[in-house]
Structure 1
């Protein structure tokens, strides 16, 4: 891809993110994005074959801008399942506030907008992969609590960390980011880690 094409693609993605945040995800059409980007609607379609493809790419663009891979590096380098679980929750808890504008827009639009729903499902699938990696690390270490299977523990951790739950705790209950991270770590440890491994993680 030429530098000009790359620059145009980035302009489109940046415009899409601005439009999502500005309009809460509702009524953001390809023509609107084209006008915001300062290019033709046809040019947008040259880079993105569908609105779904564009919205999925926009969420990944947010990840790139926020350097999500660097944020995840400590959890991926963890030497134990207990450490990986704690570091993943810390990463996620610090990440949500930074991506919340786009997340909120897609959540609001997903019930009536298939493209927004696809983009949000893609992001939540990526988050679930992170949950599964943390739970698998516990299972490999032999520190996953005995009453959990990896599949069910992943289900529970993923549900616990969903953005609407973070939203309720921070926006409605007034928890700070620091409080959210600390308490989610505690709940996760007590739920998913064998009690005999707790002392080693303190």
Structure 2
């Protein structure tokens, strides 16, 4: 990655975190110490810049690899738990930028593009986990994999994280564990129940 591109991405991330998503390409150029033309050389729109910022954040943290390792756990329930923990650990790191994009997404199509780009990948991870639960007969009765994935995604959303850690003042480590337990309880069938269902009838 070129030094200018990296400076632009870092500057845009800092500005979004500090001032929200309502920043202009000229603002980013000034903060990065480059011309506006240089910004457009790397990113042809605010939308492409915002998407690149959140993807760069993913790469810096290695979140994709950690989520893939979590989803590959041999036990589907443990895979879900590890996936939730990995996502919530990352959510704490990206909270300022994610919160800014979330707040602006309905009025700013560029913020919406960046938000949807990352959230769709997150929801896909949850769907992978809940399909494994269903295949192992560990998905809670009354839920299909898509509904269960949407429920887990909503329960671990950035606004929920913000309410519990910022508004309620709860410790991040405590919130991660409690949300993970809550998601697991909400979408999984207890092991004893699954075992009983698998026994042959009289």
> Does the CA-based 8 Å contact 1:80-1:141 persist in structure 2?
no
Superposition TM-score, scaled by structure 1 size = 0.89
Pick the aligned partner of 1:18 from 9, 14, 20: 14
Is 1:8 the counterpart of 2:4 in the alignment? yes
Coordinate RMSD, CA, aligned = 1.9
Query: Could you tell me how far 1:77 is from its partner in structure 2?
Result: 2.7
Q: How many residues align?
A: 195
Aligned to 1:63: 58
Partner Cα separation in structure 1 for residue 34 and residue 140 of structure 2: 55
Cα distance change of structure 1 residues 124 and 198 upon mapping to structure 2, 3 Å threshold: farther
Partner Cα separation in structure 1 for residue 132 and residue 171 of structure 2: 28
Partner Cα separation in structure 2 for residue 157 and residue 197 of structure 1: 22
Aligned to 1:187: 182
Gaps of 5+ in 2: 196-202
Gaps of 5+ in 1: none
Query: Could you tell me how far 1:146 is from its partner in structure 2?
Result: 2.3
> Does the CA-based 8 Å contact 1:189-1:198 persist in structure 2?
no
What is the correspondence of 1:92-107 to structure 2 with a 5 Å cutoff?
Answer: 92-107=87-102
Aligned to 1:175: 170
Superposition TM-score, scaled by structure 2 size = 0.89
Q: Deviations over 1:13-66 (max 9, x none)?
A: 11111111121222x101111111221111211111111011000111111112
Partner Cα separation in structure 1 for residue 81 and residue 114 of structure 2: 27
Query: Could you tell me how far 1:73 is from its partner in structure 2?
Result: 4.4
